[in-house]
Amino acid sequence: MRRRTGAAAQEPSEVPDGRTGAAARESSEVPTGRTGAAARKPSGARTGRVSTAAREPLGVRQGSRRASAFLARRSLATHRRAWAAVIVATGAAAALVGAFAFVVGSLLVAAPPVQRYAGADAVVAADQKVSYTAKPWGSEPRTATAYLPERARLDRSVLAAVAGADGVAKAVADDSVPVSMGDGRPAVGRSWSSAVLTPYELAEGRAPRDATEVVLDGALAAGGHAPGERVVLRAGGAARTYTVSGIARTGAGGDAPPAVFFTEPRLTALAGHPGRIDAIGVVAEPGVSRDALRDAIGAVLPERSGVPGSDRGVRVLTGVERGEAEHVDALGGRGDQLALLGSIGGTVLMVALLVIASTLSQAIHQRSGELALLRAVGASPRQLRSAIGREAGRVSAAAALLGGIGAVPLGLAMRSLLTTDALPLPVPWWLPPAAALTGGLLVALLARPVAMLAARSITRLRPAAALGAATADEPSEPGRFRTVAGAVLAFAGISSAGVATTQSGQAAGAAASGAALSLVIAVALLGPRISRIVLGVLGRPLRRVGGVSGFLAERAASAHTRRLATAFTPIVLVVAFVCVQLASGPTMERASGHQASAALRADLVATGGGAGLPAGAARAVREAPGVTAATGVLRSAVVLADRQAGEPVLTRLPVLGVEARGLSGTLDPGVTAGDLDRLTGRDAVAVGADRAKSLDVGPGDRVALRLGDGTRVEPRVVAVYEHELGLGEFLFPREALAGHVSAARDQAVLIRTGGASGADPAAAVRRALAPYGGGVAVRAATGDDVAIAPPVSDGDNAVIVIGVGVIGGFALLAVVSTLALITVGRRGEFRLLRMVGTGRRQLRRMLVLETGLVTFAGLVIGTAVAAVPLTAFAVSVAGTTPYLPPVHYAVIAGAVALAAAAGTLVPGASAGGRFVLGRRAG
């Protein structure tokens, strides 16, 4: 008597219209897909009441569907534990994809908040975008755009044109300067005439009348200031004492910095650019609509901003667009975040596809014996594929529902990490359902075809061959196509890593990321072959250490290399992805810090808090006793137009503005050609060695750049230096950048001392900076004071949390679900081992040893996969070896070990029930 298994064994008497096997062959009605003798009858032969030729095609299809539905329904009930693990993994994938869709959608509709210009009907400002058009190889011309990092200004003459436009009641020039209170609190200096743009109203006192009077924001006055009192402020030079003439308050402003209002002439003098203004605020006449105001102003505006050297257009901003004039780099930051999330999102899709394919394939593969038996007793390939597709469809529906629900809170958590005061991320009503639908649709669309593809090797067998396959061992080697594909991807990954060593910047990072992804997929495809290598290395030590349990673990792994490969593949994914993400930043940071420290010659540094230090601070420090050199450091950025693979690219590069006077005593960039003493004036620049090589420039050549405010310049190269990773790819004279930054304030003053023994240079420097008021600090200098990239910014932390925490957590969940699925599928194996006398402790120890084998193999292979692209990236970009803090790697290893234990030992205690950990053997 043949013993039936799976779904076929559960309903011995219930045979649907699409039934198979002997019952189907003896029936007078033969369903679609019948096999054996019944299948060999001519189509016109009569059997019983009606011939097959007389059957309507619709009835045939309906019978086949009923058979498939029956098999799917019974199989779902039989394999509910295995499908539960699949639901967890695919639901998590749907949640992750939906969360990324949530954040990307929120970023796409995000706009800077309107605070400072809440009382203005329109704002006129220079365009903050720059473009570059080039013709790629064999294609039409394309244009790349980027946002400028510094404020692009307008010529003051534009103010008169705007004021004369129809419907304009008032046009106000708006400038700002950073201000520091006597106690170090930061504020923004504005003219009293611009207070109407917020709007501020006097709550006490009166407006300022001369250069010695100010009006304080109510938030600043809360410290005890009142009209008539004196207040110390630092704005544009040494601290001065002003008289508080009034206190102003507003209901708008939100989280905007508090303001200090000067007279307009005094504010213009402090700003330092009398012929230019930041923006123009417009108050419309009553009854003038927004569109009419925009058209009227646009009609009188010039095409360009009028600033010499600048080709910026002029924009009229109304409604929510007004916030763009307040936070000039907010949209540039949004573009960077979108590009970064797009890159990570592509990885997320590939990881999700890999996890879904892996779990579904394992779930189907564990039923290969049952599917082969159904095929042997007469089930047609179409019926089996349809039944599996129906199962996967129902499972994917449940996973899509769970994942869609989970996408919303996960997306909100990711949004909270990325939102800033300058760019809060909104949550429109349509975004949560759209994100949930996106993640759910991915699972629904992928699950059914992946499951049907996974069962293809069984369903396409002939019935006689399927009967042998039902009892045969699993194949120990992957198929030819899988082997070839894996080898090609491995070669592509190694080649991409090699290409990364010849690139720099974004190109190197993209090549390294592509190498990591290709190698992970190659490991998944070549897993069975890699498993044999792993067992060849670890099999004998496993048997020696584990005794009987080690022998059982090694034999089980050797008999099921495909299962072993499926087990360690998600661990490889976790380790490779997380190591690449965690090591990239520390590698760059470490190399940058080493180069900056090597270049630093100063032993003290002075900083001025949020308001910075004016140019006069460095001059004052030079005159202090014991100071041999002092150099102010002004930070900015430039935009470089270049081509990558023929495509036009605009790259924003951070730069330093320094003073050549005393530079050799405080900073040594490692000059390889030229002379840094010539780094003076507005027509000079020093270039890093790698960038000079890529641009093919040297001392005496000119390089085309755009400064931070969009001004086109072509300075002459006066020197080439080697410490560009620490100091940036360009060094400018301070005076060349000062007129093209939002606020010409030094972020630091580097100080070299060499006074007589017993003197306290730091105390002398503090006395020299005392006139600059509170907030000034003097301390020992470190490489971080000049390093072009700060150690870790808030944005970097957000990216690390999203890239490592969210995706790494999802990959760990995939480890748990995959291993749990494998363990649940071994119930028969556990029962058999207990029945032949294997003890509980031996089985438990066998599971522990298998978990250790899988964990160790996954860690080693994942580390090797990560090392290839990381080494390529580190060599090409940093010229060093990759670096990952040991504590970080220990956390990765611990998390992987816990996930592997949770996926193996916990379900192992219940998968076999009393046969594994109970007292009875059956």
Q: What is the pLDDT of residues 308-344, one digit of tens each?
A: 777 788 999 999 999 999 998 888 888 888 877 887 7
485 token code pair: 């594909």
pLDDT at 910: 60
Is it true that the peptide bond before 199 is cis, omega within 30 degrees of 0?
A: yes
What one-letter code names the amino acid at 544?
A: R
pLDDT at 200: 92
Q: Mean pLDDT, to the nearest integer, of 511-528?
A: 81
The string of pLDDT tens digits covering residues 540-582 is 888 888 888 888 888 888 888 878 888 888 888 888 888 887 8
Confidence band (pLDDT; 50, 70, 90) for 57? low
| pLDDT (0 to 100) of residue 717 | 96
Highest-confidence range of 477-481, 738-742, 905-909, by mean pLDDT? 738-742
Q: Give the residue, 369 or 547, on which the prediction is more confident.
A: 547
Whose tokens are 């008497």? That residue is 13
Residue 640 is predicted with a pLDDT of: 93
Please, which pLDDT band fits residue 807 given cuts at 50, 70 and 90?
Answer: confident
Enumerate residues 6+ apart whose C-beta is below 8 A from 166: 296
CA quadruple 301, 303, 306, 307: dihedral sign: positive
Average pLDDT (451-471) is 69
**Hey, what are 55's tokens?**
């059957």
Mean model confidence pLDDT for the chain: 82
Q: Is the confidence at residue 755, as pLDDT, over 70? A: no
Residue 793 has pLDDT above 70, yes or no: no
Does position 52 have pLDDT exceeding 50, yes or no? no
Residue 423: is its pLDDT beyond 80? yes
Residue 19 has what pLDDT?
41
pLDDT tier at 21, thresholds 50, 70, 90: very low
Q: Return the pLDDT at 45.
A: 39
| Cβ count near 604 (within 10 Å) | 23
100 forms bridges with which residues in the sheet? none
Q: Taking 70 as the threshold, does the pLDDT of residue 911 lie above it?
A: no
- pLDDT of the residue at 469: 57
User: How much is the pLDDT for 32?
Assistant: 40
Please tell me the distance from the alpha carbon of residue 159 to that of residue 280, in angstroms, as a whole number: 7
- What is d(CA 120, CA 316) in angstroms, rounded to the nearest whole number? 12
Which pTM does this prediction carry?
0.80
* CB contact set of 631 (below 8 Å; sequence gap of 6+): 602, 618, 658, 659, 661, 662, 663, 665, 666, 667, 749, 750
- Residue 614 burial by CB count (10 A; 0-12/13-18/19+): exposed, middle or buried? buried
**Which helix (H) or strand (E) element contains residue 344?**
helix 330-365
Helix (H) or strand (E) holding 360: helix 330-365
Name the band, by pLDDT with cuts 50, 70 and 90, for residue 921: very low
| C-alpha of 45 from chain center | 66
Q: Percentage of the chain surpassing pLDDT 70?
A: 85
The per-residue pLDDT for range 223-256, each reduced to its tens digit, is: 678 899 999 998 878 889 999 999 998 876 555 6
Give the start-end residues of each E strand in 692-796.
705-706, 712-713, 716-721, 730-733, 748-753, 777-780
Element (DSSP H or E) covering residue 648: strand 647-658
Query: What is the per-residue pLDDT across 687-724, written as a single tens digit (0 to 9) for each?
Result: 999 899 989 999 999 999 999 999 999 999 999 999 99
Read off the pLDDT band of 15 (50, 70, 90): very low
188: its two tokens: 């923004």
C-beta separation of 200 from 248 below 8 A: yes
Distance, in Å, from the CA atom of 220 to the CA atom of 320, rounded to the nearest integer, reads: 28
Instruction: Tell whether the model's pLDDT for residue 500 goes beyond 80.
Output: no
Residue 626 CA to residue 85 CA, distance in Å, equals: 71
Which of the four pLDDT bands, split at 50, 70 and 90, describes residue 268? very high
pLDDT, tens digit (0-9, with 9 covering 90-100), for 662-693: 888 899 999 999 999 999 999 999 999 989 99
d(CA 91, CA 119): 48
CB 118 within 8 A of CB 296: no
